[in-house]
Structure 1
């Protein structure tokens, strides 16, 4: 009888260890500290310690397992009547550095130089702007898409637009679209194909004045003159009117359009506000073409 009573707790213990549904609980982390010490000529003691901590595996209630966190801390201390503790650590990734040749963060470009007049200035892009060498004789230019396509062809043919020629659009509005909403808001300057800055910032386009006239074509030919199809007020919104039926007609009817002057740096660079719109039959004007993203 006494033997049965002695075996019963052991039996229950074994059964409890294998009972289903119970979760295995990790043992507490084990911390190991090792150290070396040395004594200097002045009697001071230098102690180097390394502490490592690891946690066991958590098997949970399923079949998977995951490793616990591990950490390692190394420090040195010098003791000579006091304690001097030094801690060394690392933080997250470093901020982008303009001039290292790597485009990162909010940089538009990084050519690893500080030349202000090339395509990249202070890690922002100098974008091309030009007035087309070609004149367009009436208001039928295939709508906004047709005008943008012409700008891209001219940019490609100029050889200056490298791989960005597909991003060019015309400075042109119609009854349904303001050009300020069609432009890509670049962070850098906009320059003529001869390198002269037209505006320092994207917002300057809508200020009513330019730093220089856009009287240079895609090939770099300077001091060209003439009118330019725009349909756009100085603030970048569409001018009133039909815009030659949204730039799709050359008919002599009630359709009309507004032009600007390529030689101007005042608001008339895009529109003569006090002048009536012109008929769409014989506009004979250029386009402004502006590089996008």
Structure 2
């Protein structure tokens, strides 16, 4: 039988059990009207009970049930937990069991970073927790080393290329006395073909007339090009005896073929002058030191401007300043016919304007003489 609900009766919640309503009369000897007990609403109804089952979902988002916090026994939300694999507010990362102070995410749920005092395995060589570059660990969390550009106090006297009055810093990060004023070296701003003719688009603010050939050819023309550029850059005066020579050698086998014979360094390495770029730094403490690798790349032109990248440089010269004397697959010398050819039929040995030992002058490759490359220019003595 369906019960009727009158005033004061509420609908039971879905899934709840409806309790019976007391409708008993007062019995005999009392009011015989048969009326039921009434409250303010007219009936004495028992309110429905609440289900003991929890609603669908879990703590967190009431609709999806997501979230990393859990409910404590007293019903309050627990604090976020580092190491549970969920990135909570205030955490930079959380890789659960992978968290480690030598990993990408530390045990504090902070992302690894150079300077945090923890060495990130595979990414950092060191990490001393500071930003000082005069100690054993320098910028980038790399171990200090001679030649890195940072003076390791207590372990290094200087950095290669530094100059201090009458001393220069060598590749061992130790001062060496300068026995003579450093000679200047630069990378030509102008490009030249294999016959030393000028690549006009590379002249910039110069004019063709600024680099006269003087009726010279081959390596002597290259020397004339370097002298003219030195004058244009203010490194030499017009009318001065020529003292700048191209780091270029031919295959003619004459007394002028190898650049070492044109630069005239002192026969005693202890008495040789060093070499420096315009405005510094030093690239070598002596001619002999050129064979040990440069202290800095020859990457400044005659004006002292830095040339970006690692441009090709005509050379055909060993790091000892001697002609390579090589030939190509057709038996032709790799010196653009001793620097008289500018065609695809001939090739010339070249180097890269880099600090790397040997490669700066002898790359082990050759380029077509129809290409326009730069020249190294060295001051003699």
TM-score range, shorter chain: 0.5 to 0.7
CA deviation map 1:19-53 (0-9, x unaligned): xxxxxxxxxxxxxxxxxxxxxxxxxxxxxxxxxxx
After the TM superposition, list the runs of 4 or more consecutive aligned residues in structure 1 that deviate by more than 3 angstroms. 162-165
Greater fraction helix? 1
Alignment partners' CA distance in 2, 1:262 and 1:172: 14
Partner of residue 191, structure 2:
135
Counterpart check, 1:146 vs 2:221: yes
Query: Which residue, out of 280, 302, 312, partners 1:218?
Result: 302
Whether the 8 Å contact between 2:313 and 2:375 is mirrored in structure 1 is yes
Q: Aligned pair count?
A: 172
Cα distance in 1 for partners of 2:338, 2:242 equals 22
Q: Map residues 1-293 of structure 1 onto 2, 5 A cutoff.
A: 115-116=165-166, 122=178, 124-136=180-192, 138-141=193-196, 142-162=217-237, 166-175=242-251, 176=253, 177-185=257-265, 187-205=272-290, 207-225=291-309, 226-239=311-324, 240-241=326-327, 242=333, 243-253=335-345, 255-273=346-364, 275=365, 277-282=366-371, 284-293=372-381
Rounded to whole Å, the distance in 1 between the matches of 2:299 and 2:243 is 21
Larger RCO, structures 1/2 (Cα 8 Å, 6+ apart): 1
8 Å CA contact 1:197–1:211 kept in 2: the answer is: yes
Give distance in 2, aligned partners of 1:165 and 1:270: 27
Q: Is the 8 A contact 1:130 1:193 kept in 2?
A: yes
How far is 1:193 from its partner? 0.5
Q: Tell me which protein shows more strand as a share of its residues.
A: 1
Aligned mates of 2:223, 2:293 — CA distance in 1: 24
1:45 is matched with none
Pair member with larger Rg: 2
> Structure 1 residue 122: deviation in Å?
4.9
User: In structure 1, how many angstroms separate the alpha carbons of the residues matched to 2:312 and 2:178?
Assistant: 34
Partner SS for 2:337: helix
Q: TM-score, normalised by structure 1?
A: 0.54
Asked if 1 retains the 8 angstrom alpha-carbon contact of 2:186 and 2:301, the reply is yes
In structure 1, the gaps of 5 or more residues are 1-113
Distance 1:122 1:228, change over 3 A: closer
The Cα of 1:265 is off from its aligned counterpart by 2.9
1:200-254 per-position Cα deviation (integer Å, ceiling 9, x unaligned): 011112x15111110111110024331110011233221213211110111222x
Unaligned runs of 5+ in 2: 1-163, 169-176, 197-216, 267-271, 328-332
Change (3 A) 1:231 1:123: closer
Q: What is the CA-CA distance between 1:161 and the residue it aligns to?
A: 2.8
Give the TM-score of the pair, scaled to structure 2: 0.42
CA contact (8 A) 2:295 2:355 kept: no
Contact 1:155/1:165 (CA < 8 Å) preserved in 2? no
Instruction: Tell which deviates more after alignment, 122-131 or 243-252.
Output: 122-131
Partner SS, residue 231 of structure 2: helix
Is the CA contact 2:260–2:321 (under 8 Å) kept in the aligned structure 1?
Answer: yes
DSSP 3-state at the match of 2:351: strand
